[in-house]
Amino acid sequence: MPQFFHLSNNNGEDGDTEGPKFTKVELAAIAHYLFDNSKALKLDAPSADYKPDPKRGETFFAQKGCLACHSHEGDRFKGTHADFGPNLSKVAAKIKPGAEGFNWLYTWIREPGRHHSRTRMPDLFLDPVTQNSVTVDPAADIAAFLLSAGPQKYDAIEATPADIDELVEKLLWRRKTVTPAQAKTVMTTRKYPIARDKVKGDEIELVPEKAEGEMSDEEWQRRKMNYLGRVTISRYGCYGCHDIPNFETARPIGTALQDWGLKDPSRLAPEHI
């Protein structure tokens, strides 16, 4: 995954003040959009009386085929270089602490297709097994091993209401969907000047399904963040690699290449000749 933020073109090194300020807004907006448009996932959980064993999970991680696709920086796995799947050394830093995060990872390990029908991760049939009255749950043990490093604490992304409103207003008129005067009016009246059935772009996030009554502060904030998130995802092309709701039919972010062979070399980018 490429890095889009905290680079020389948006970290303020050149005296730019908008880059650092709006980077926080864009990051918060992307996260808000993804969470707001996510579908609920039914999670499995180990038996209530089962105690996952991280040490046994480390052994299962080696025995059940995980290392065929993944690498891990644990002492036992030094020198593993599989890269078909991601390195799982720091997966604990990405998972929500507590039972909910554990059960999410447990469900993913047991049945990857439930989370993503097109995942490349196979179902390894890691169902609990009982022998001599002793039950062992490999998926729970592997999850415990991967989460044994503990959660990581992250600083909150502080996007101020003023910065959010400023970016929404700027995007509205910079994208030429409305005039600067109309953009200012949208921010005060909370009403987009174009009917919902006529809106074809990301501005659809600002238009309620039923234009009746005043929009609450909570609803207006949600719509502004979804608008900013959707515009940012469109701008950086996140949907080119990820499945994201409302981007199923989005056009590729890059230029079409099917006719490059017909172009005169002088028309091609010099660094690509």
- Segment 61-73, tens digit of pLDDT: 999 999 999 999 9
pLDDT tens, 165-221? 999 999 999 999 899 999 999 999 999 999 999 998 999 999 998 877 788 999 999
Q: Which of 61, 43, 63, 44 has its CA nearest to residue 53?
A: 61
pLDDT 10s digits, 49-94: 999 999 999 999 999 999 999 999 988 998 888 999 999 999 999 9
Q: Are 192 and 186 in contact (CB under 8 A)?
A: yes
pLDDT for residue 269: 66
What confidence score (pLDDT) does residue 258 get? 75
Percent of the chain with pLDDT over 90: 64
Return the DSSP state at 29: H
Rg of the chain in Å (alpha carbons): 24
CA distances from 99 to 42, 93, 142, 197 (A): 14, 15, 15, 43
Q: Dihedral of the CA atoms 227, 228, 231, 234 (nearest 10)?
A: -110
pLDDT at 204: 94
* Strands 129-131 and 134-136, bridge-based pairing: antiparallel
Q: How far apart are CA 226 and CA 204, in angstroms?
A: 10
Runs of H (alpha helix) within the chain: 18-36, 54-63, 99-110, 112-115, 138-146, 161-174, 180-189, 217-236
Give pTM, 2 decimals.
0.83
Assign 153 a pLDDT band (cuts: 50, 70, 90).
confident
